[in-house]
Amino acid sequence: MTSATQKSGPHEPVVFNYRMWRSDMRVQIQDTVVAGYLDRLCHQFSSKESESAIYFDVRGTSDKRWEILREGEVLATRKTRLGAARHAEWRMVREAVRAESEFIHWHGSALTKQGSTLLIPGKSGTGKSTLSLALAANGFQMLGDDIVFMDPVSGEIHPFHRAIRIHNDAIERLAAAGFPLDRDLHVGTFLEVEALRSWSHRAGPPLSHVFFVDWDVAGPVESIQISQAEAALELRRFSYTLKKSPPNRAWRVLQRILAPTVAFRVLRGQDLAAAVRVISKLVAK
């Protein structure tokens, strides 16, 4: 699939226009392979050209590296084409997050099922995407992975369909949990959004469940309900928006958001299917 909006000749750069959440981006890429990677990661955000777009460039250097630039300023250099595409995607997503002041941004995954919306906050590389994909294979619809946007008044989580970053061993583990993935939809350690059919395209109902997952525990899956105060204290760490807010304001927002929720700490061993069963049961209660 391609979403190139301009391509004026064999030696001309490829230009993509994206709308990520509520920010417009325009990215110009010299190399067609880098452009191909970026398009696979971002085509779901394709949009019309916008005058207010933030400009990015990805270009080769004389020492066979790749530079990622924002408005003419070099942000980073990468050794590989795939690394350059991934970094450009991340920079644009970060820009979309930082431009947002009305919605709360969470670092985590969000899914919805039958009137419930659950949030799994977590840092990168902690396995939340693998768990979320397994939940999505078991009746949940994915609202967002890694970056989640929430209306702070209604508590609704809005869909943001970013490509999903997964562990190298995730395909085998997901297959064992009953969710085979198409390897053709891999872009390095990312999965194109088409790998997952159960995306939600509408905002989920207000947040109802928060799961803090401890990934390092070797043993059976266990869940422990925690107080909303404990959840608030922990949850603030996973929001760029709330981390930079004055504490008194952040706690008031969390008071409101968490009022209709129950929060759990889930101790997860290696049994992905068991973790899915435990979470599904808690959400169904």
Which residues are at the interface with another protein (CB under 8 A)?
227-230, 232-233, 247-248, 251-252, 255, 258-260
Q: Which is nearer to another protein, 72 or 246 (CB)?
A: 246
Q: Which is nearer to another protein, 155 or 159 (CB)?
A: 155
Q: Which is nearer to another protein, 175 or 259 (CB)?
A: 259
Residues 104/122, Cβ–Cβ less than 8 Å: no
Q: Which is nearer to another protein, 6 or 255 (CB)?
A: 255
* Minimum gap (Å) between residue 154 Cβ and another protein: 16
Rounded Cα distance, 99 and 182, in Å: 34
DSSP structure string for 181-199: --GGGEETTEE-GGG-S-B
- Across 38-152, where does the E strand assignment appear? 54-60, 66-70, 73-78, 104-113, 116-121, 141-150
* Minimum gap (Å) between residue 53 Cβ and another protein: 38
Q: Which is nearer to another protein, 133 or 254 (CB)?
A: 254
Compute the residue count for the chain.
Answer: 285
* Minimum gap (Å) between residue 232 Cβ and another protein: 6
* Minimum gap (Å) between residue 217 Cβ and another protein: 22
Q: Which is nearer to another protein, 99 or 233 (CB)?
A: 233
H/E stretch holding 135 reads helix 128-136
The three-point CA angle 14-16-17 to 5° equals 155
* Minimum gap (Å) between residue 210 Cβ and another protein: 12
Residues 47/18, Cβ–Cβ less than 8 Å: yes
* Minimum gap (Å) between residue 230 Cβ and another protein: 5
Q: Which is nearer to another protein, 178 or 247 (CB)?
A: 247
| Listed residue (144, 137, 143) closest to 176, CA to CA | 137
The three-point CA angle 65-35-48 to 5° equals 135
* Minimum gap (Å) between residue 262 Cβ and another protein: 8
CA distances from 222 to 199, 209, 225, 281 (A): 27, 16, 10, 12
